[in-house]
Amino acid sequence: MKSLWMLWSALAAVAVLAQERDIMPRPPRPVASGNALAALVRDTRVGEAQRYKNLMVYPLFTAGRARQRYWTMDEALARGSLRITEKGEGNVPQLLVENRGDEPVFLLAGEIVKGGKQNRVVSQDILLAPHTGPISLSVFCVEQHRWAKSTASFGAEKQMAHSNLRQQLNAPMASQSGVWGEVARKADAVAPKAAGGTAYLGQVFDDKDVKRDVEEYAARIRLPQEANGMAVVIGGRVVGAELFGDAETFGRLRDKLLRSYATDAIEYRGADDKVWADTERVERFLRRVENARLVLKETVGIGQFFSVEGGGLYGSTLVWQEQRGAHGVVHASLFDEQPVIQPAK
């Protein structure tokens, strides 16, 4: 009996200790890099929509945001701390990039650089470390019929690739032929003669009618300065979202991104009656990341770069754990897996 009593006492003590452990506050679980995007979305609030015609933009606000510790490409080029040149005698899918500055530099997928032998578009988000030395930068060509040096180094185009092309850059099977096909489709749709003999996307954006319409859209959308991202609806469908770890970086790139979406919105005119204000539907779009796969990809920069695939999304996210706050996310682009603009049948 004594041994049974001792066994019962021991079991009771274990039960009491287990109960005490259950009611003790548990430390938060560390977020792994692959889960950083889902964690960021859970901490993000959708704000009040801004609308102009068939374009509706929802500001996004994230708790625990990071502090900006890097330059954008435009800023670094203007400061002379970033240099982009041809690789050797020229290599269509690669350029050389060098960060000569003391701070990292963020290059956003879809930003266009012009010069060299062909104008190119940055293919994925990259955070360049300080003092990199010359390293390879993956790009796609957005100027099909030129292969002659215009300048020794590249500068920044004032407008980035339209959202339909940026969505393709995030797709698993992105290709040069697909990029050229989308550039040609866009030119035919909004400015058939604007691309000129070299079929350059930037000349489409410079067409006076396209430029006027895009500026009109951009002038009517005003987002709060504290926003660190936006979700975009074109013609009644959530087509994409941009989330940054900090409001400062988003503020520096907001106009470029807004014009990127507006360039597709002008192609979808006549859909004004399909525009709706539905915060819950935008929240459901963002929560698709919970069912998406995050696939680790190679990057020449610092941090980790993931493609976002499945769950009805294409996209990408760049995570830098040394950046405190926002779960380490530098930037994420999320696109509906269907093209922003459906190709004509």
Binned at pLDDT 50, 70 and 90, residue 235 comes out as confident
Higher pLDDT, 40 or 236: 40
DSSP helix/strand/coil, 185: helix
pLDDT score at 102:
97
**CA-CA distance, 82 to 74, in Å (whole number)?**
9
pLDDT tens digits along 250-288: 999 999 999 999 999 999 876 555 666 689 999 999 999
Using the predicted structure, report yes or no on whether residue 155 has a pLDDT greater than 50: yes
Enumerate the β-bridge partners of residue 106.
Answer: 72, 127
Enumerate the β-bridge partners of residue 98.
Answer: 83
Radius of gyration of the chain (CA): 24
**CA-CA distance, 189 to 54, in Å (whole number)?**
17
Lowest mean pLDDT across 2-16, 43-57, 119-133, 260-274: 2-16
Higher pLDDT, 2 or 314: 314
HEC sequence for 44-76: EEECCCEEECCEEEEEEEECCCCCCCCEEHHHH
Q: What are residue 121's phi and psi, to 5 degrees?
A: -125, 135
Q: In this prediction, what percent of the chain has a pLDDT beyond 70?
A: 86
Q: What is the mean pLDDT of the chain?
A: 87
